[in-house]
């Protein structure tokens, strides 16, 4: 008799359409989108047959251009041609060295403003333009609307940068399944392709960011052991070393945006040529000055030695945190266009005393890995792989004397939650402010301010009597959320979050409104359709869960869930958006304990080796 396959409760047995999902590498210099097609990850081609979309956006009055078209304006309209916007996202004006950007930057409220001929733009909207283009390419290639995307970020991106990236995705109309770290994505593509096992280092030097991650690859599970890096170190800085050299030698005007733009382009050309040639001859006129140089690889190496040392230092730190030595490493994977530089390859090869792995295209490997992960999360693939990643930066709070008290140490496996107890210092105090920072330094000013949380409605008590338990949770996207309760009275304090960077919820809503072209009726019917899909899914999965595991419930619990289920089915028939949402929320919340029990059961079954996936006759 044939084996009947009965799937786990909670996972749909209905054969669903292959969900259209993609992986997106939103890079400093170039961006890519990929999807798993017929079992293999593939980069989706742009219209001009290239795999790479330059991360460049050009604004003119009422028009936006993205990619190569935008790049064409770099030499004639540098002020309005925005490249490397990834170096600005999630930051404030004080965080950037304006000399490095041939743009008009100013302080926005929580963001950096870039002045263009189409008005002020912030890095989130600029990034959204790139994402919109990628989404269009994907939908054209795949023949329909996307269900979701996995977007990559540098492992060393902090909370503000991650949140800003998510905001940009939302503006671009993308449903984010997960943010994943670039080195981890590369490891996924590489590890699955080569079926590698063991301890691996991913050395990821991109245009603007540097990450080094140490992973353990085993069957069905990739675990990040440690990650280090510098979100402000990349190929652009190697270019800058040449720019500085030329500016100094030829006494060029560093305040002239057009001149600096031309020098930047020249510097990049030199760097790239030196990746293949031992020396390069330059003869170019810029602003009336003649630049005549013969650049050698040796010369270049001397100019960028400090930068190389920084990458090696971060690599050693990561090895320390992972408690591994260089000879315990089974392979070193090179990722990012900047790893093509011979001086980098030499330095890393010497450190690990082994040949480096760079047979997968270093420009594409991150997007391919993200596509694989998107496929897994959407439930499409046959691939059974779990990624366990870590938080790259320690999380702490400000205490007396502007000192940081560390709550969650760096390289802790996600998801993680830690609770900390606080108390009041004045009689009758009903509020307190908690300042959360990210970083490894001991002083608050040396760390990155994430947000100030104001706890209100603390029951008034004698000073020191209140026991306020604050729980810090970091999710699998690497994002922080905070909850608080007064434990002696069990009151949940109300929390107001003032993020130090980024757009407020209202800002985002406003930007979303203005970007929709849909008519009002369309908006409403679209919202209703989405609500109905979610409700239907909940109904279907709840019924399946009850079929399989209702023995976990008491009679009253069972009746309660059944009633909520009936209410939701009725609400669906009413076609009233609010009613359906309310009933969905109700059923979701009330069935949480049931979900918890079912998970406990699946854990027990997995540990004792009994899987209900196989019923044999």
Partner 1 sequence: MTQNYFELFNLPEKFQIDSLKLQKNYRTIQKEIHPDRFATSTENEKTQSMIKSTQVNDAYQTLKSPTKRAKYILSLHKSVEKITLPPDFLMQQMEWEEDLEDIKKNNKELDQFKLAINKKYEEYSLLLSTQIDDDQNWNEAGITIDKLYFVEKLLHKINIALN
Closest CA to 451 of 405, 396, 401: 396
Nearer to partner 1, 136 or 588 (CB): 588
Distances in Å between the Cα of 407 and the Cα atoms of 135, 396, 412, 420, 435 are: 38, 5, 11, 8, 12
Say how far apart CA 154 and CA 174 lie, in whole Å. 19
In the set 129, 204, 293, 398, the catalytic residue is 204
595: contact with partner 1 by CB under 8 A: yes
What contacts 144, CB < 8 A, 6 or more positions away? 20
Nearer to partner 1, 409 or 459 (CB): 409
526: contact with partner 1 by CB under 8 A: no
412: contact with partner 1 by CB under 8 A: yes
Is 505 tagged catalytic?
no
Nearer to partner 1, 376 or 553 (CB): 376
Minimum CB–partner distance for residue 366 and partner 1 (Å): 18
Q: Using DSSP, state whether 522 is helix, strand or coil.
A: helix
538: contact with partner 1 by CB under 8 A: yes
In the list 68, 473, 560, 577, the residue contacting partner 1 (rule: CB under 8 A) is: 473
What contacts 120, CB < 8 A, 6 or more positions away? 106, 108, 113, 114
Percent of residues in the chain assigned helix, strand, coil, to nearest 5 = 40, 30, 30
In the list 170, 415, 430, 579, the residue contacting partner 1 (rule: CB under 8 A) is: 415
14: contact with partner 1 by CB under 8 A: no
15: contact with partner 1 by CB under 8 A: no
Say how far apart CA 30 and CA 46 lie, in whole Å. 12
Burial (0-12, 13-18, 19+ Cβ within 10 Å), 586 = middle
Q: Residue 527: in which H helix or E strand, if any?
A: helix 520-549
Say how far apart CA 262 and CA 287 lie, in whole Å. 9
- Backbone angle region of 380, left / alpha / beta, with phi > 0 → left and psi within -120 to 50 → alpha: alpha
Q: Which of residues 159-178 bind partner 1 (CB under 8 A)?
A: 177-178
Q: Which stretch binds partner 1 (CB under 8 A): 248-256, 328-336, 382-390, 569-577?
A: 382-390
In the list 314, 360, 372, 414, the residue contacting partner 1 (rule: CB under 8 A) is: 414
Q: Which stretch binds partner 1 (CB under 8 A): 58-66, 482-490, 516-524, 534-542?
A: 534-542
Please list the alpha-helical segments (H only) found in 297-442: 297-303, 305-321, 342-352, 365-377
In the set 129, 159, 182, 477, the catalytic residue is 182
In the list 3, 462, 465, 596, the residue contacting partner 1 (rule: CB under 8 A) is: 596
User: How many residues make contact with partner 1 (CB under 8 A)?
Assistant: 48
Q: Which stretch binds partner 1 (CB under 8 A): 28-36, 364-372, 487-495, 588-596?
A: 588-596
In the list 18, 19, 289, 579, the residue contacting partner 1 (rule: CB under 8 A) is: 19
Count CA atoms within 13 Å of residue 197 on its CB side: 4
Confirm if 222 and 388 have CB atoms less than 8 A apart: yes
528: contact with partner 1 by CB under 8 A: no
Count CA atoms within 13 Å of residue 449 on its CB side: 19
Nearer to partner 1, 397 or 568 (CB): 568
Nearer to partner 1, 34 or 270 (CB): 34
Say how far apart CA 573 and CA 569 lie, in whole Å. 7
476: contact with partner 1 by CB under 8 A: yes
Closest CA to 36 of 262, 295, 367: 367
441: contact with partner 1 by CB under 8 A: no
Q: Which stretch binds partner 1 (CB under 8 A): 246-254, 384-392, 396-404, 488-496?
A: 384-392
In the list 379, 428, 460, 464, the residue contacting partner 1 (rule: CB under 8 A) is: 379
Distances in Å between the Cα of 579 and the Cα atoms of 411, 448, 572, 573 are: 43, 43, 8, 10
Minimum CB–partner distance for residue 608 and partner 1 (Å): 8
- Residues 199-214, buried b or exposed e (16+ Cβ, 10 A)? bbbbbbbbbbbbbbbb
Token code pair at residue 478 = 């690497």
199: contact with partner 1 by CB under 8 A: no
Is 182 tagged catalytic?
yes
Is 530 tagged catalytic?
no
543: contact with partner 1 by CB under 8 A: no
Q: Which stretch binds partner 1 (CB under 8 A): 301-309, 407-415, 491-499, 565-573?
A: 407-415
361: contact with partner 1 by CB under 8 A: no
Which x/- pattern over 547-586 shows residues binding partner 1 (rule: CB under 8 A)? -------------------------------------xx-
In the list 316, 441, 492, 498, the residue contacting partner 1 (rule: CB under 8 A) is: 316
318: contact with partner 1 by CB under 8 A: no
Closest CA to 71 of 55, 89, 85, 88: 55
In the list 6, 294, 403, 417, the residue contacting partner 1 (rule: CB under 8 A) is: 417
In the list 248, 320, 515, 559, the residue contacting partner 1 (rule: CB under 8 A) is: 320
Residue 119 has phi, psi (to 5 degrees) of 100, -175
In the list 119, 599, 612, 614, the residue contacting partner 1 (rule: CB under 8 A) is: 599
Token code pair at residue 474 = 């970091």
In the list 110, 148, 173, 342, the residue contacting partner 1 (rule: CB under 8 A) is: 148
612: contact with partner 1 by CB under 8 A: no
Helix axes 305-321, 235-250, angle to 10 degrees: 160
* Cβ neighbours around 399 below 10 Å, total: 13
- CA 567 to chain CA centroid, Å, is 38
Strand segments, DSSP code E, in 91-197 are 105-107, 112-116, 119-121, 148-153, 176-181
Nearer to partner 1, 221 or 302 (CB): 221
8-state DSSP, 443: B
* Residues annotated as part of the active site: 25, 86, 182, 204
* Site residues for partner 1 per CB under 8 A: 10-11, 19, 148, 177-178, 218, 220-221, 316, 320, 376-379, 384, 386-388, 412-417, 473, 475-476, 537-538, 541-542, 584-585, 587-589, 591-592, 594-596, 599, 602-603, 606-608
């Amino acid at each position: 008799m044939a084996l009947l396959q009965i799937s786990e409760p909670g996972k749909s047995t209905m054969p669903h359409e292959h969900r259209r999902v993609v992986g997106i590498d939103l890079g400093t210099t170039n961006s890519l989108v990929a999807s798993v097609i017929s079992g293999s990850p593939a980069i989706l081609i742009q219209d001009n047959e290239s795999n790479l979309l330059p991360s460049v956006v050009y604004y003119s009055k009422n028009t936006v251009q993205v990619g190569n078209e935008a790049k064409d304006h770099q030499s004639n309209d540098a002020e309005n041609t925005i490249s490397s916007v990834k170096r600005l996202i999630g930051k404030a004006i004080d965080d950037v060295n304006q000399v490095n950007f041939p743009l008009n930057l100013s302080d926005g409220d929580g963001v950096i403003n870039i002045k263009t001929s189409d008005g002020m733009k912030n890095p989130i909207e600029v990034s959204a333009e790139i994402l919109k283009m990628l989404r269009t390419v994907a939908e054209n290639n795949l023949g329909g609307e996307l269900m979701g995307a996995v977007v990559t970020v540098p492992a060393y991106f902090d909370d503000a940068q991650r949140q800003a990236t998510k905001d940009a995705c939302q503006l671009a109309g993308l449903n984010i399944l997960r943010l994943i770290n670039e080195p981890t994505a590369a490891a996924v593509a590489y590890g699955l392709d080569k079926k590698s096992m063991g301890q691996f280092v991913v050395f990821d030097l991109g245009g603007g960011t540097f990450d080094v991650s140490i992973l353990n690859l085993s069957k069905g599970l990739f675990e990040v052991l440690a990650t280090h890096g510098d979100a402000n170190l990349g190929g652009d800085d190697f270019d800058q070393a040449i720019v500085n050299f030329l500016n100094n030698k030829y006494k060029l005007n560093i305040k002239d945006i057009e001149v600096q733009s031309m020098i930047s382009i020249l510097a990049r050309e030199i760097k790239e040529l030196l990746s293949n040639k031992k020396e390069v001859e330059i003869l170019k006129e810029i602003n009336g000055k003649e630049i005549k140089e013969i650049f050698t690889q040796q010369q270049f190496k001397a100019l960028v030695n400090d930068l190389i040392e920084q990458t090696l230092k971060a690599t050693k730190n990561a090895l320390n945190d992972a408690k591994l030595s260089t000879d315990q490493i089974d392979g070193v994977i090179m990722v990012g266009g900047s790893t093509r530089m011979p001086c980098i390859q030499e330095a890393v090869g010497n450190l690990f005393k082994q040949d480096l792995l760079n047979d997968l295209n270093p420009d594409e490997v991150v997007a391919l890995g993200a596509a694989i992960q998107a496929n897994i999360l959407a439930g499409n693939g046959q691939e059974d792989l779990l990624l366990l990643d870590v938080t790259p930066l320690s999380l702490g709070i400000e205490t007396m004397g502007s000192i940081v008290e560390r709550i969650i140490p760096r390289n802790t496996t996600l998801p993680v939650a830690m609770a900390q107890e606080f108390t009041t210092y004045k009689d009758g105090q009903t509020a307190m402010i908690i300042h959360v920072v990210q970083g490894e330094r001991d002083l608050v000013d040396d760390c990155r301010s994430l947000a100030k949380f104001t706890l209100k409605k603390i029951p008034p008590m004698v000073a020191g009597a209140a026991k306020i338990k604050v729980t810090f949770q970091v999710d699998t996207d690497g994002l922080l959320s905070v909850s608080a309760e007064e434990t002696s009275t069990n009151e949940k304090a109300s929390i107001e979050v003032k993020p130090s960077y980024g757009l407020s919820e209202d800002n985002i809503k406003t930007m979303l409104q203005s970007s929709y072209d849909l008519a009002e009726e369309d908006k409403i019917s679209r919202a209703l359709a989405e609500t109905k899909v979610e409700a239907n899914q909940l109904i279907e999965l709840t019924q399946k869960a009850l079929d399989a595991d209702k023995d976990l419930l008491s009679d009253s619990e069972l009746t309660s869930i059944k009633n909520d289920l009936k209410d939701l089915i009725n609400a669906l028939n009413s076609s009233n958006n609010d009613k359906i949402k309310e009933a969905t929320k109700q059923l979701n919340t009330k069935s949480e304990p049931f979900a918890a029990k079912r998970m406990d059961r699946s854990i027990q079954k997995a540990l004792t080796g009994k899987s209900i996936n196989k019923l044999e006759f």
